[in-house]
Amino acid sequence: MSVLLFGVSHRSAPVSVLEQLSTGESDQAKIVDQLLQSELVSEAMILSTCNRVEVYAVVEAFHGGLSVVGQVLSEHAAMSLSDLTKYAYVRYAEAAVEHLFAVASGLDSAVIGEQQVLGQVRRSYAAAEANQAVGRTLHELSQRALSVGKRVHSETGIDAAGASVVSVALDMADGKLGGLAGRTATIVGAGSMGALAAAHLMRAGIGRVHIVNRSLPRAQRLAQNLTEQGVEAFAVSLDDLSDALTDTDVVVSCTGAVRPVVSLADAHRGLVGRPENCQLVICDLGMPRDVDPAVAGLPGIYMVDMDRIQREPSARAAAADAEAARVIVATEVANYLAGQRMAEVTPTVTALRQRAADVVEAELLRLDNRLPGLDSTHRDEVARTVRRVVDKLLHAPTVRVKQLAGAPGGDSYAEALRELFELDPQAVDAVAGSETPFIPGDPIPAPRTDLDRTD
């Protein structure tokens, strides 16, 4: 069983294709359920952000798994599989691990180094776990990816070099308007992105903020939070959005809605009575788009969208910090894969020791039959001697095979061990299957270092 990644991101596809693939929580649950209906897929997780849609699946075989995942996604996006694959990238086994670690570290984001993606990976794992789509493989992979992402952000300067999408968008708005201090902003969406936008605007000295949300109580909570921190803020229902736009300088929209929430009519209304030299800056951070694409063509509108953000020089992390992050990711990938290979050889080592123990017991039973008069003291001493001899003979090869298994291609040594000692593959599988069952949500057991660890 190996991990297959099938993805489409800002690096491989235009925003229009990402919009077609964009998934909400209910969509993700349906897609995961469809994937798990196939005998070729045993675990599945979807990472869907404003910049990417990626499926991580544990599959029996590469080609079969790829066919299943591609077909399900193409149906969801209402695209032919051939059209979808023009924009897709595929990673398998080690390459899939490396990609997820890089994503969690912010190295594959539109804004290199952004921390938001770390939370998005965490939420994707939680959603898959809630859908009972996570087993040991994706659990261990996801938790290690989160750990790697935290390490990158704590040990490098990538945070300072790579800001969030929100901060880059608002920096662009600040430059266009000649400063945000004392101005009026409208935030459409009161979720995590909206709260992040509010925090950035507050630090920029914004004078007044309208919080627009479909759920008014949620908008009121965010408005109340801003008011308590000294910013004049008002909660506005989505039906009154156009009224709010008549009294605003910058709009940040990040709702996650499936269709635009800021219409051409809303934008027209926002421009009414505005001086010719007074532009309305709209930051569309939604995926799919929150703002009708036609709005960008209106005179007096300056549109900041994901395409423009990706071209912004400030979205790129400093080369030295990015390289330091890549070194950490490479090291963590190597350590993770070595650990996985060592874990895979453990059932073979355990089966070999069990085979040896069975042989010893059989020979002691034969001794009892041949020498029925042997007193228990001598019999026990012979048994201890035989077991010591077997243990000493097995010690070096079993320790060495675990060491060798940690290197690339190490699985061949386990295969050699099975051939040399004529181990029954079913016996090895039985040992692997007798391990403590994995329960999603449980912490990963700490690795044991003794010779016969079976974790």
Integer Cα distance of 418 and 424 in angstroms = 8
List, in sequence order, every residue forming a beta bridge with 280; answer none if it has no partner.
Answer: 301
CA dihedral defined by 433, 439, 443, 446, rounded to 10 degrees?
Answer: -10
DSSP 240-264: GHHHHHTT-SEEEE----SS-SB-H
Please give the Cα distance from 345 to 428 (Å, whole number).
Answer: 10
The DSSP string of 136-167 is HHHHHHHHHHHHHHHHHHHHSSHHHHS--HHH
Catalytic, 283? Answer no
Say how many Å lie between the first and final Cα of the chain, rounded. 17
Cα separation, 306 vs 296, whole angstroms: 13
Dist. CA 149–CA 153, nearest whole Å: 6
Q: What is the DSSP letter of 373?
A: T
CA dihedral 344, 348, 354, 355 (to 10 degrees): 170
> What CA–CA distance (Å, rounded) separates 118 from 104?
5
233: Cα separation from own chain's centroid:
34
Q: Considering Cα of 426, then 429, then 431, then 437, what sign does the dihedral take?
A: negative
In degrees rounded to 5, what are phi and psi of residue 24? -90, 180
Provide the CB-side half-sphere exposure for 320 (13 A, CA): 3
The Cα 108–Cα 99 span in angstroms is: 8
Structure tokens at 419: 């051939």
Instruction: Report the SS3 class of residue 57.
Output: strand
Contact criterion met (CB below 8 Å) for 19 and 64:
no
Distance CA 134, CA 138 (A): 6
Q: Specify the amino acid at residue 174.
A: D
Side chain identity at residue 121, one-letter code: V
Tell me which residues are annotated as active site. Answer: 50
